[in-house]
Structure 1
């Protein structure tokens, strides 16, 4: 089965969130998981974390617990960066900016794919596939195949060739931009796509957490807090604390984080950094500077931490955090 991944955009899709990808993988009962858009060095360095490859935070721990091998296939993954370098170079010059403006419509088409709530079966439907093909073809027509596209076609052709040698049951995870190109090169028997899928309870709970991470004034915060009480795991406590903080209920937020930091909150891998950074900030606001400093040091002592949490901790070490008054 070939499953497209949406990077950070999974958070926008209640029925195609990061846990959905993990559930699709699990249901397929693969002998092996292949990563089409990552190379061995990237996987070894776990660079996907800094790229906010949301689904990997759920798929890879499950694969490890199930004893499944995860094999990265993109031997030329370093070429991906060429696309952004190409754009950055064009932005430096007026003519380059004009060229980029000509492909703005392509970005709108891509936005329609990754921002409109999707289901797994949508990615087997022609409108979505056509929009993704159009995005790539438009860039090729404007700039040629190569640096402007991150050499996607060349890289996916090589990945497909490597997959031909595997005859067992496997799942291939591939970046959504490279998904239609990989499909072109795969033989029909390896081109199984996601079909109709009934969301599981873990997926439903993930959708509640994702909604909380995107908290806005348009949400019913009381309802969201009630939904979070039914969600298993430490992340629900963190999200509830965030809602209390946004509502100005600082003591309630601090109490929840106090509870959270005395539990096992190691998963997902981004949670320890965010939790300790926010805990430090609230400790500062509550006048508990020593506790805040311990939290900030704990953030910086983690083997990996999201960039935002690291910046919070570094700033908090220099100056006690204070809430901005409206």
Structure 2
């Protein structure tokens, strides 16, 4: 019984052009995996919760417990330590370790780099430093206990496991039959490239070449993980950012009409919430209201879409463009 561990970066998958949700799909296809054992974040809006089912890769839950209470205890410990000089020094040491590791994992990397000894050693050093500063328990979110329980649930299983990057060193220690995937000859393909394009378009920066980004989106037809409807919705966001409401609405309505079949489950909510905002900005309040209500009626809509829809029902959306 062997387990192949793949590193998860959570929302940071959206920031890594060569290790994004599409790349994870490609790695799983390379392994021949029809399902994954989920040992990562329970966030329902996790990028892989969209990508894997869209790629017809099943997610098997039941391995990760709800440790939200540990976050509460951690906050209480921070409040206690912050009252004392020595406690504040320990908090600074832990924060420094976290800052250093965060700087590493927010730097775009490839699958080879993420699973390298250098990065895994950095993850181990981060947790060692945190434990040295705050002790095992509330200070580490009960990490050793959590990993031991997770390893016990995974013991006797086989297949591909999605686990947080910084948990991999500990799981490799606790699970003798676990290993990282063999990346010999692997290179990100079209699924990864399309996902990177869409991720980039959803996160505009001031120095972006918007015309080039729109041209790139327009050239693509999409795939199962990043369908054409999402590419159209992402392009609409660019037009909305520059105040071209007519173009944004046309693209969003096209995307909404294409929301059929096994599209990523978050896409309908994101598309309709943005469409409601555009209709509001064009003074089409009645249709905007109905669109917001459609978002809230979906079986699943990401938190950001639900929040936008609820806000839109409360007050009409208005477009505020930055000064030229």
TM over 0.5, yes or no? yes
* Structure 1 residues 291 and 88, CA gap change in structure 2 (3 angstroms): farther
Q: Is the 1:109–1:131 Cα contact (8 Å) retained in structure 2? A: no
Residue 17 (structure 2) pairs with residue 58 (structure 1)? no
In structure 1, the residue matched to 2:202 is 213
Mapped to 2, the partners of 1:313 and 1:31 lie a distance apart of 35
Q: State which of 13, 16, 21 in structure 1 corresponds to 2:19.
A: 16
The TM-score, its normalising length taken from structure 2, stands at: 0.87
In structure 2, the residue matched to 1:222 is 211
Mapped to 2, the partners of 1:78 and 1:279 lie a distance apart of 35
Cα distance, 1:37 vs. partner?
A: 3.4
Mapped to 2, the partners of 1:160 and 1:215 lie a distance apart of 40
* Structure 1 residues 237 and 78, CA gap change in structure 2 (3 angstroms): same
Q: State which of 165, 170, 189 in structure 2 corresponds to 1:181.
A: 170
Mapped to 1, the partners of 2:288 and 2:124 lie a distance apart of 50
CA RMSD across the alignment: 2.2
Mapped to 1, the partners of 2:89 and 2:6 lie a distance apart of 35
Cα distance, 1:32 vs. partner?
A: 4.8
Structure 1 residue runs without a partner (length 5+): 39-46
In structure 2, the residue matched to 1:243 is 238
Q: How do residues 102-121 of structure 1 correspond to structure 2 at under 5 angstroms?
A: 102-121=93-112
In structure 2, the residue matched to 1:90 is 78
Cα distance, 1:158 vs. partner?
A: 3.2
In structure 1, the residue matched to 2:154 is 163
Mapped to 2, the partners of 1:278 and 1:182 lie a distance apart of 41
Q: Is the 1:4–1:174 Cα contact (8 Å) retained in structure 2? A: yes
* Structure 1 residues 312 and 37, CA gap change in structure 2 (3 angstroms): closer
In structure 2, the residue matched to 1:144 is 135
Residue 76 (structure 2) pairs with residue 73 (structure 1)? no
* Structure 1 residues 200 and 289, CA gap change in structure 2 (3 angstroms): same
* Structure 1 residues 31 and 203, CA gap change in structure 2 (3 angstroms): closer
* Structure 1 residues 37 and 204, CA gap change in structure 2 (3 angstroms): closer
Structure 2 residue runs without a partner (length 5+): none
SS in 2 for 1:173: strand
* Structure 1 residues 171 and 290, CA gap change in structure 2 (3 angstroms): same
* Structure 1 residues 313 and 5, CA gap change in structure 2 (3 angstroms): same
Deviations 1:79-104 (A, max 9, x none): 35414541355147433554322222
Q: Is the 1:276–1:295 Cα contact (8 Å) retained in structure 2? A: yes
Q: What is the aligned length? A: 308
Mapped to 1, the partners of 2:146 and 2:23 lie a distance apart of 26
The TM-score, its normalising length taken from structure 1, stands at: 0.86
Deviations 1:145-175 (A, max 9, x none): 1222222222323333443423x5x101101
Mapped to 2, the partners of 1:11 and 1:37 lie a distance apart of 16
Mapped to 1, the partners of 2:296 and 2:59 lie a distance apart of 31
Q: Is the 1:261–1:275 Cα contact (8 Å) retained in structure 2? A: yes
Residue 281 (structure 2) pairs with residue 285 (structure 1)? yes
Q: Is the 1:35–1:172 Cα contact (8 Å) retained in structure 2? A: yes
In structure 1, the residue matched to 2:258 is 263
